[in-house]
Amino acid sequence: PVYGLGGLPEGFSRLAAIHGGVFMLNRPVHEVLYDDNGQFRGIKSNGEEARAKICIADPSYFADTGKVVKTGKIARWLFILDHPVDGTAPDADSCQIIIPFKHTGRKHDIYISVVSAGHCVAAQ
């Protein structure tokens, strides 16, 4: 993605709009709303209710509800390199490296995104 991985939420919000979804940014969540069965119903923000069948949000919004179950960890690193990644074409602007879980002894694959000045995320 041009201008870095931060462009992914923008792409998601555009796609959501095409399919009738709403992507809310920079809105405070004052309350998470639940129906009588304890299922998510919506949120309250600035006195307005936004209702939805599904909510994708940071777990911190549901911290004191007993509805969040920790299932694993996410590790993130940022490397700034002055050379191509070994095994890639010397003139490649980007690549994605997937390390299968079988090679690492982990439960899931490892995904590595490599971006460059070609994506406007680093100086030439």
Over 80: is that where the pLDDT of 82 sits? yes
Sign of CA dihedral 105, 71, 30, 21: positive
pLDDT confidence band for 114 (50 / 70 / 90): confident
Q: Considering the chain, what percentage of its residues have pLDDT values greater than 70?
A: 96
**Distance of alpha carbon 80 from the chain centroid:** 21
Which of 32-36, 60-64, 70-74, 76-80 has maximum average pLDDT?
A: 32-36
pLDDT at 4 exceeding the cut of 80? no
Within the chain, residue ranges assigned H as helices are 7-18, 101-104
What pLDDT, on the 0 to 100 scale, is given for residue 81? Answer: 85
Q: Which residue has the higher pLDDT, 98 or 5?
A: 98
Distances from the Cα of 93 to the Cαs of 70, 90, 110, 123, 124, in angstroms? 36, 9, 20, 13, 11
Question: Where are the chain's structural domains?
Answer: 7-62, 72-124
- Residue 7's pLDDT band (cuts 50, 70, 90): confident
User: Which tens digit of pLDDT belongs to each residue from 57-75?
Assistant: 888 888 888 888 888 888 8
Alpha-helix runs per DSSP H in 4-122? 7-18, 101-104
Residue 24 pLDDT > 80, yes or no?
no
pLDDT band at 101 (very low <50, low <70, confident <90, very high): very high
